[in-house]
Amino acid sequence: MAGQQRVALITGGGGGIGGAMCAAVSAGGAKVAVVDRDEATARRVADGIGGSAVAIAADVSTEDGCAAAVAAVEQALGPVDILVNNAGIGLSALRPDGERNLPDLQEVTPEIFDRFIAVNLRGPFLMTRLVTPGMKRRGWGRVVNNTTSFFTMLRTFPYGALKASLEAASAVWAAELDGSGVTVNVLVPGGPTDTAFIADGSGMDRGTMLKPAVMGPPAAWLASTASDGFTGRRIVAAFWDPALADHRAVAEAASPIGWPDLAQSTRVWPKEST
Candidates 116, 140, 157, 159; catalytic one? 159
Q: Give the max Cα distance, the chain.
A: 59
- By three-state DSSP, how is residue 143 classified? strand
Annotate 198-263 with DSSP letters as a single string: S-GGG---GGGSBPGGGGHHHHHHHTSGGGTT--SEEEEGGG--TTS-HHHHHHHHEEESS-GGGG
Numbers of helices and strands, H then E, in the chain: 9, 8
The values of phi and psi at residue 71, to 5°, are -65, -40
* 200: number of Cβ within 10 Å: 10
Q: For residues 165 and 128, what is the distance between their CA atoms, to the nearest angstrom? A: 15
223: annotated active-site residue: no
The residues that are catalytic are: 159
